[in-house]
Amino acid sequence: MSEYILDLKKITKSFSGVEVLHEVSFSLRPGEVHALLGENGAGKSTLMKVITGVHHPDGGEIHLNGAPVHFSDTRESQQAGIAAIYQELSLFPDLDVAENIFIGRQPVTLGGRIDWRKLYAEADKLLASLGVHLELKQKARTLSIAQQQMVEIARAFSINARILIMDEPTSSLTLKEATDLFHLVRRLRDEGAAIIFISHRLEELFELADRVTVLRDGAYVDTRQMKDVTRDDLIRMMVGRTIKNLFPKQDVKAGKVVLKVDHLTRDGAFRDISFDLRQPLQWSFQCLFSDVDMFGVL
Ligand SMILES: Nc1ncnc2c1ncn2[C@@H]1O[C@H](COP(=O)(O)OP(=O)(O)OP(=O)(O)O)[C@@H](O)[C@H]1O
Ligand SMILES: [Mg+2]
């Protein structure tokens, strides 16, 4: 029996002749939170979609509990115990919390009708077991993003998912909501679920993840224990070079104002922003960027 619940071996994937994953390997243990890290476009979401059967790999193998699998679509991967929660959430806005959890799998009475009493009782039991507080009859359209995520997670666990993929789940959450989510993720991990967690926020990965795998330009870089790496190590793995000196701190005296922003507002985006931008008194472009290869970064 493999120590891995999921084992990807040398996965390759191209879109219209452009290779976006090149022989990527990734292994997941039960009871771990495994961070997947890489710059924008590194191939993280594509790799997750290969796991869930949205995309089909051009090369390589996927092993689930030690046996090779080929998923034609997400229904098949779900049946095998893999659930994914993406940034774009997929609840039915006019159905309530309980209905969304059991969508397509509502309990029925002997007469073939939906057994509403059982549906609400089961939903209640499930949310209680996850430690999630939600109003069962609240319509999905009135839930916050964080609450919608909780419903999706509950749905995943109602189908006995043993692998949960979370692709940038915190990008539109407040700090408090993210903290609640981490609490739930840890709880699921402690019960033996395996969680793949994608985020660009390194601090939260240090808080949450047990291991980390880094991708760069569609290629596997390394897998490390989170406790054995530093922030700088991760950045170096992601971009392939050290960037800590990209903007070296220089002592400069502020000169004249070159840009003034005064009470700028754009409805729905930002409100009442004011600041001044000053030129350094002794302006020297060469000095600012002297010890880095800017063009290598750009
Ligand atoms: N369906 C598709 N058709 C064509 N190209 C695609 C498709 N999906 C992804 N790509 C390309 O594959 C590459 C990897 O994209 P992917 O979305 O996997 O990156 P990512 O690591 O998830 O990035 P981000 O951090 O921005 O979410 C990108 O160059 C992207 O443009
Ligand atoms: Mg992505």
- In whole angstroms, give the CA distance from residue 257 to residue 95: 55
What architecture (CATH level 2) is domain 6-90+189-239?
3-Layer(aba) Sandwich (3.40)
Looking from the CA of residue 15, the nearest atom of ligand 1 is 4
> What are the DSSP calls for 146-172, one per residue?
HHHHHHHHHHHHHTT-SEEEEESTTTT
pLDDT at residue 105, as a whole number: 85
Spacing, Cα 22 to ligand 1 middle (Å): 13
Confidence of residue 280 (pLDDT cuts 50, 70, 90): confident
- In whole angstroms, give the CA distance from residue 36 to residue 48: 10
Residue whose tokens read 């840890």: 186
Strands (E) across the chain are located at 6-15, 18-28, 33-37, 59-64, 67-69, 82-85, 163-167, 194-198, 211-216, 219-225, 254-266, 270-280
Q: Is the pTM of this model over 0.85?
A: no
- In whole angstroms, give the CA distance from residue 24 to residue 97: 38
- In whole angstroms, give the CA distance from residue 193 to residue 28: 10
Sheet holding 211-216, edge to edge: 67-69, 59-64, 6-15, 18-28, 219-225, 211-216, 33-37, 194-198, 163-167, 82-85
- In whole angstroms, give the CA distance from residue 211 to residue 195: 11
Confidence of residue 248 (pLDDT cuts 50, 70, 90): low
Mean pLDDT of 159-167: 91
Q: Is 178 in the pocket of ligand 1 (CB under 6 A)?
A: no
pLDDT at residue 289, as a whole number: 46
Please determine, for residue 25, whether its predicted confidence score (pLDDT) is greater than 60: yes
pLDDT at residue 145, as a whole number: 87
Residue closest to 24 by CA, chosen among 198, 219, 225, 280: 219
Q: Is 21 in the pocket of ligand 1 (CB under 6 A)?
A: no
Please determine, for residue 144, whether its predicted confidence score (pLDDT) is greater than 50: yes
Q: Are 169 and 181 in contact (CB under 8 A)?
A: yes
- Which tens digit of pLDDT belongs to each residue from 164-203? 999 998 887 888 888 888 988 998 899 899 999 999 999 9
Query: Which of the ligands is closest to the CA of residue 201?
Result: 1
Spacing, Cα 118 to ligand 2 middle (Å): 38
Residue whose tokens read 């679509």: 73
Pocket test for ligand 1, best of 12, 15, 18, 201 (most atoms within 8 A of CB): 15
Among positive and negative, which fits the CA dihedral 216, 218, 220, 226? positive
How far is residue 24 from each of residues 67, 152, 165, 267, measured CA to CA in Å? 18, 28, 17, 44
- Strand pairing report for 163-167 and 82-85: parallel
Residue whose tokens read 């189908």: 159
Phi and psi at residue 235, to the nearest 5° = -65, -40
- Which tens digit of pLDDT belongs to each residue from 94-110? 999 999 999 988 899 99
Spacing, Cα 261 to ligand 2 middle (Å): 34
Tell me 79's DSSP state: H
Please determine, for residue 292, whether its predicted confidence score (pLDDT) is greater than 90: no
Say how many residues make up the chain.
298
What is the residue extent of each domain of the chain? 6-90+189-239, 254-297
Helix (H) or strand (E) holding 125: helix 116-130
Q: Is 40 in the pocket of ligand 1 (CB under 6 A)?
A: yes
Spacing, Cα 280 to ligand 1 middle (Å): 40
Q: Are 23 and 59 in contact (CB under 8 A)?
A: yes
